[in-house]
Amino acid sequence: MSREGLRYQTFSRRAFLLAGAQGLALATLGSRLYYLAIIEGDQYKLRADKNRISLRWIAPERGEIFDRFGRKLATNRQDFRVFLIPEQAHKVTDTLARLGRIVQLDDRRLARVERQIKRQRKFMPVTVAQGLTWKTFARVNVEMPSLPGVVTDSGLSRYYPDGIDVAHIVGYMASPQEDDMNTSPLYQLPGFKVGRQGLERRYEDQLRGKAGTRRVEVNAVGREIRELPPRQDAVRGENINLALDLDLQKFTMERLGEEAAGAVLVDVQSGDILAMGSSPSFDPNEFTNGISHENWQALLKDPRKPLINKPVAGLYPPGSTFKPIMALAALESGVVKPDTTHYCNGSFQLGSHTFHCWRHRGHGRVNLEQAIQQSCDVYFYKVAADMDIDNIADMARRFGLGAVFDVGVDGEKEGLVPDRDWKHRVMHDQWHLGETLNVSIGQGALLVTPLQLAIMSARIAGGNKVWPSLVRSLDGEPDTNRSFLPLDVNPLHLKVVRRGMEMVMEAGGTAHDWHRPKSAIRQAGKTGSAQIKRITKSERQTGIIKQEDLPWAERDHALFIGYAPADAPEVATGILVQHGAHGGSTAAPIARDMMDKALELKRQREGKPLPITTATAGPVKGTPPPPDPDGEAD
Amino acid sequence: MRSAHMFAPRRVNKNVFQRLIGLNWLIVLMNIMIACAGFAMLYSVAGGDWHPWAQTQAIRFAGALALMLVIAVVDIRYWMAFAYPAWGIGVILLLAVDVIGAVGMGGQRWLDIGFMRIQPSELMKIAVVMALARYFHGRNYHQSRSLKSLIIPAVLILVPVILVVKQPDLGTGVMIVAGGAAVMFLAGLPAWLFVAAFIGIAAAVPVGLHYMHDYQRNRITTFLHPESDPQGAGYQITQSKIALGSGGMTGKGFLEGTQSQLNFLPEMKTDFIFTVLAEEFGLMGAFAVLGLYGIVLTYGLLMGIGCRSQFGRLLSAGLSISLFLYVFINVAMVMGLMPVVGVPLPMISYGGSAMLTWMIAYGLILSVAVHRDVTLAPKGSGLA
């Protein structure tokens, strides 16, 4: 064979060999593909779907809160918001700077935005601003082409039309705490808020509703491409209907003004809380969009404690407003009869200790009704000296002191009704008679809330174990058939105490000078001044400093309980004005106006005219006479 | 024993038109079909749009097709004469890239000559095969078997390979070596040499790993353990396999591939375009395209058997093997059978260089086919 032939043969042989190798290589690729697509195909199909299908949550519309007449206390309104999607912004800082020329962005807000950007994935929108006006929102939309990464949307956000008037009741909304971020998938939604105080927090689950879901096709960076059926719509949260009367609530707040005070007005028969004011207040709308640092600090530092819901969370000694309970306890335990009299010379000696009456020249001989009317301390000291503290405590509890009513707002306190057991258990000591004397005039360890005072007053007025209610119903007809069992107290005894409380408003009563109701409806009540500062012996000798001359924080708390109309009670109230000095001059007029207003509104709604003030209710015209220098304690 | 007349000089006197008619048009059509599959996939990757890739690619292909036909009808003697100069030009271009790359920072692999970018390493794949075919054409059977025949081919292969690997472009370097080895194997170098070389390479891999760039080493680690890096390179191969596997038998339909349309796939228009095809047209579509490649390249390989000149035989078979390696490396890579080395799928992947390489090489294969009866003198082209 020629050399050329050999060369040719070698080439041919080896070319066929390589062709075979090529075929083998192709077969390898083919079988690999067969393995991936046919044998493992289902698994890869599943993984492809897992890649592209993402479950997205739909925020439910939050339930609204209404007053007893269906007026909105908390609602949802269209909110214009601006988000930033970091991935789409060329440079986040540039975009934010340009956005800052349209929307006001302070440093704290910017810092928060940047923190959030670092925390989440780059395609997730970060809330930059919300609660924008339509005008600003429109400007952002117009400028959008020069704001890469900026997205606008309008969603629902919480709005309180009369926020300042109902702040402590409804509470407020704020962003979920960072610790809670993983507890609900909804928290990941931009701008999602949760209830932080009041009803918003207490009824969070009911108000929130149920989140919906939708399946969306997403691309590799997680951007939404389209929605895939089926979609599960969100279920709207339940509405809350309150017993509150917004008119009366607003009136109460206006009347409390700038005082640090808490006032509650309840319906004597149903226990409906018609008004529950706490002052000073704050605007819960500020929290929805994130309260500014300055405003938050101001709320925290205010000595009048605007954030405390005083009617349920403020604890105060009841002072002389406790005397009706003391009187009932004495009557029920047989220590006094309705006509029992005691002589008051201005003080009472127990062992080596002298207990003073607020009126140091004394009240002379007074019976029980007069003792309540004039708030004679010595009468009650003398009664208390013959009584067991446990009987007093029992009577206090029957009237609602020491009880948590759980009306639906945060931080309700139970207060303290001291007795032997408490003294032994908590103070590890025996009960001393002197303490009974202190309790008898509402001092000592006794602590109550204004809500408890209002219920106490309502129970005295109605004789029933009335229970307060703020929330009448969730999504539905209110339960109006509330009735209460009568109190286990002799009605004759109650009658004596009520008469005493009527006399408080009449000539000689501690509230008489300030009691000028607009209407002719007779009211009954009891003043109280709770001492903050102990009066020393030397002060008694040199003359007690007038309350008005003391610094604000050292003045007595002013209290008042009352009900009206006196002969057929419909509404009852309990009110406290912190450091208001005198129950009669500070608390009583507010309570008087609240009760008047409540009845006026009630008559209006029932179509009945309100009796106009006549001359029977004491001096009407002119300024009140200057308080008797001795008559200012209460 | 074959008759002697087969090797006797034969006069071939066809004009250009006759040679054009004489082309294997079925094979040309198959090449066009492969390119069309590419346009379809680029159209799909753009979300159902001729812009920005499919149209550009089609225009490029039109140019490349014309070039291929011109190359095919040019007399094979010119190509033989041009073999060594082509290699020389290739090396000069590689050096030029090296210099410009050093100035322009980073691994630059192309030269901008105004209207297009030339990637000299691509052209080198062809030039090395041409030069080796030319060399062995001049060596008779016994000379070819001699180990002395290793010296010049070693230079012809190693000089460009060193320049290419320096770029760094290991993938192309490997392909040049493999293409050259194929030519030497076909030329008749002793078989044991290749077995020994294979064992030697296998032994050198661990050493090679040591000298690799970090990104090259990562590719290999990721290839062996894709789960170890689910966000980076492992992500690519995982998503690629999902696309291939989820296509099933018939695929998800044109423009319906979720992995591709939603951008889960990496480098879709270039290196991973085969996965788009398999996802949208399934096993059937992928087999059809692999089948076309197989037919076209086996034709190039076996066509040499009917060729009268050793140059023609080695050129067409060598180029076929080179192109086959090109295809194989890409497909094996996207299937997770090989590390991700950044080799495109010629004719289908977006980009001019790989397509140009393919069309020039295939033009030469067709030229060999059309001139299979031309006898070439052992030395020189026989033109003069």
- The CATH number assigned to the domain holding A452 equals 3.40.710.10
Select from B249, B262, B313 the Cβ nearest to the Cβ of A220: B262
Kindly list the strands in the beta sheet with A53-58, ordered across the sheet, starting from the edge strand earlier in the chain.
A53-58, A212-218, A224-232
pLDDT at A624: 43
Instruction: Check whether residue A104 and residue A30 sit in a common domain.
Output: no
Chain A residues within 8 A of B259 when measuring between CB atoms: 48, 51-52
A357-362: Cβ within 8 A, 24+ apart: A358/A529, A358/A633, A358/A634, A359/A630, A359/A631, A359/A633, A360/A540, A360/A630, A361/A630
State the nearest Cα–Cα gap between A11 and chain B, in angstroms: 5
Final residue of a domain: which of A237, A268, A293?
A237
Contact assignment for A18 to B1 by CB distance below 8 Å = no
> How many CB atoms lie under 10 A from the CB of residue A227?
11
The answer to whether position A27 is within a domain reads yes
CB pairs under 8 A between A and B: 155
Chain A residue with Cα closest to B336: A32
DSSP state of A463: -
pLDDT at A481: 66
Contact assignment for A51 to B243 by CB distance below 8 Å = no
ipTM given for this complex: 0.92
Select from B185, B186, B335 the Cβ nearest to the Cβ of A33: B335
Choosing among A33, A225, A228, which should be mutated to test the B contact, i.e. which has the most B CBs within 10 A? A33
State the nearest Cα–Cα gap between A53 and chain B, in angstroms: 10
Establish if B198 touches chain A: CB-CB under 8 angstroms.
no
CA distance B313 to A8: 9
Establish if B195 touches chain A: CB-CB under 8 angstroms.
no
pLDDT at A99: 86
Is the pLDDT assigned to residue B65 strictly greater than 90?
A: yes
Chain A residue with Cα closest to B263: A220
Q: Give the residue numbers spanning the domain of A450.
A: 312-466+482-596
CA distance A627 to A622: 14
Chain B residues within 8 A of A16 when measuring between CB atoms: 302
CA distance B256 to B239: 16
Count: domains in chain A:
3
Select from A30, A40, A44 the Cβ nearest to the Cβ of B290: A30
Chain B residues within 8 A of A33 when measuring between CB atoms: 244, 278, 283, 286-287, 335
Final residue of a domain: which of A209, A237, A265?
A237
pLDDT at B262: 85
Contact assignment for B283 to A33 by CB distance below 8 Å = yes
Kindly list the distances between the CA atom of residue A354 and the CA atoms of A347, A632, A633, B292, in Å, as whole numbers in the listed order: 7, 21, 18, 117
Chain B residues within 8 A of A44 when measuring between CB atoms: 241-242, 244-246
Select from B2, B239, B314 the Cβ nearest to the Cβ of A5: B2
CA distance A195 to A176: 9
pLDDT > 90: what percent of chain B? Answer: 55
Instruction: Check whether residue A389 and residue A324 sit in a common domain.
Output: yes
The answer to whether position A360 is within a domain reads yes
Instruction: Check whether residue A24 and residue A162 sit in a common domain.
Output: no
A152: helix, strand or coil: strand
Choosing among B5, B186, B275, B313, which should be mutated to test the A contact, i.e. which has the most A CBs within 10 A? B186
The answer to whether position A287 is within a domain reads no
Final residue of a domain: which of A237, A253, A284?
A237
Residue A534 makes CB contacts below 8 A (sequence gap 6+) with none
Select from A4, A34, A47 the Cβ nearest to the Cβ of B283: A34
pLDDT at B226: 67
Choosing among A3, A11, A224, which should be mutated to test the B contact, i.e. which has the most B CBs within 10 A? A11
The answer to whether position A228 is within a domain reads yes
pLDDT digits (tens, 9 = 90+) for B132-184: 999 999 988 888 888 888 899 999 999 999 998 887 787 888 899 999 999 99
B210: helix, strand or coil: helix
Contact assignment for A22 to B263 by CB distance below 8 Å = no
Contact assignment for A37 to B283 by CB distance below 8 Å = yes
Mean pLDDT estimate for chain B: 87
Chain A residues within 8 A of B332 when measuring between CB atoms: 28-29, 32
Say if residue A60 is preceded by a cis peptide, omega within 30 of 0. no
Task: Check: CB of residue B47 under 8 Å from CB of residue B258.
Answer: no
Chain B residue with Cα closest to A224: B262
Choosing among A13, A17, A24, A26, which should be mutated to test the B contact, i.e. which has the most B CBs within 10 A? A26
CA distance B319 to A320: 111
Select from A5, A40, A51 the Cβ nearest to the Cβ of B264: A51
pLDDT at A520: 73
Select from B7, B264, B331 the Cβ nearest to the Cβ of A29: B331
Instruction: Check whether residue A216 and residue A348 sit in a common domain.
Output: no
pLDDT at A626: 41
CA nearest to A560, candidates A593, A603, A600, A537: A593
Chain A residues within 8 A of B249 when measuring between CB atoms: 37-38, 41
pLDDT at A627: 42
Is the pLDDT assigned to residue B8 strictly greater than 90?
A: no
The answer to whether position A281 is within a domain reads no
Contact assignment for B241 to A3 by CB distance below 8 Å = no
The answer to whether position A208 is within a domain reads yes
CA distance A553 to A531: 11
Instruction: Check whether residue A351 and residue A231 sit in a common domain.
Output: no
Cα angle A100, A104, A107 (rounded to 5 degrees) comes to: 80
pLDDT at A300: 92
Instruction: Check whether residue A101 and residue A27 sit in a common domain.
Output: no
Mean pLDDT computed over B59-64: 94
Question: Which tokens go with A447?
Answer: 């602590």
Interfacial B residues in 325-354 facing A (CB < 8 Å): 328, 331-332, 335, 337
Instruction: Check whether residue A30 and residue A133 sit in a common domain.
Output: no
The answer to whether position A300 is within a domain reads no
CATH of the domain at A147: 3.90.1310.10
Interfacial B residues in 112-171 facing A (CB < 8 Å): 140-142, 144
Contact assignment for B302 to A19 by CB distance below 8 Å = yes
Q: What is the pTM of this model?
A: 0.69
Instruction: Check whether residue A25 and residue A60 sit in a common domain.
Output: no
Select from A8, A28, A48 the Cβ nearest to the Cβ of B246: A48
Select from A19, A26, A225 the Cβ nearest to the Cβ of B262: A225
Residues of A annotated catalytic, as ranges: 320
Is the pLDDT assigned to residue B105 strictly greater than 50?
A: no
pLDDT at A124: 74
pLDDT digits (tens, 9 = 90+) for A376-423: 999 999 999 999 999 999 999 999 999 999 998 988 999 999 999 999
Chain B residue with Cα closest to A7: B141
Residues in chain A with pLDDT values less than 70: 1, 221-222, 477-481, 515-519, 543-544, 609-634
Which one has a higher pLDDT value, B67 or A580? Answer: B67
A78: helix, strand or coil: strand
Chain A residues within 8 A of B187 when measuring between CB atoms: 7, 10-11
CA distance B42 to B59: 13
Instruction: Check whether residue A510 and residue A562 sit in a common domain.
Output: yes
pLDDT at B101: 64
Distance from first CA to last CA of chain B, Å, rounded? 33
Q: Which amino acid is at A550?
A: L
Q: Which amino acid is at B199?
A: I
Contact assignment for A40 to B278 by CB distance below 8 Å = no
pLDDT at B2: 46
Residues of A with CB under 8 A from a CB of B: 1-8, 10-12, 14-16, 18-19, 22-23, 25-26, 28-30, 32-34, 36-38, 40-41, 43-45, 47-49, 51-52, 217-221, 225
Contact assignment for B258 to A49 by CB distance below 8 Å = yes
Instruction: Check whether residue A91 and residue A153 sit in a common domain.
Output: yes
State the nearest Cα–Cα gap between B65 and chain A, in angstroms: 25
Write out the H or E segment, with its range, that includes residue A571.
Answer: strand A571-577
pLDDT at A625: 42
Chain B residues within 8 A of A45 when measuring between CB atoms: 245-246, 248
Instruction: Check whether residue A420 and residue A545 sit in a common domain.
Output: yes
Q: Which amino acid is at B311?
A: F
State the nearest Cα–Cα gap between A16 and chain B, in angstroms: 7
Interfacial B residues in 210-229 facing A (CB < 8 Å): none
Instruction: Check whether residue A135 and residue A164 sit in a common domain.
Output: yes
The values of phi and psi at residue A448, to 5°, are -135, 165
Interfacial B residues in 77-116 facing A (CB < 8 Å): none
From A153-157, A241-245, B59-63, B194-198, the region with the lowest mean pLDDT: A153-157
Chain A residues within 8 A of B48 when measuring between CB atoms: none
The answer to whether position A248 is within a domain reads no
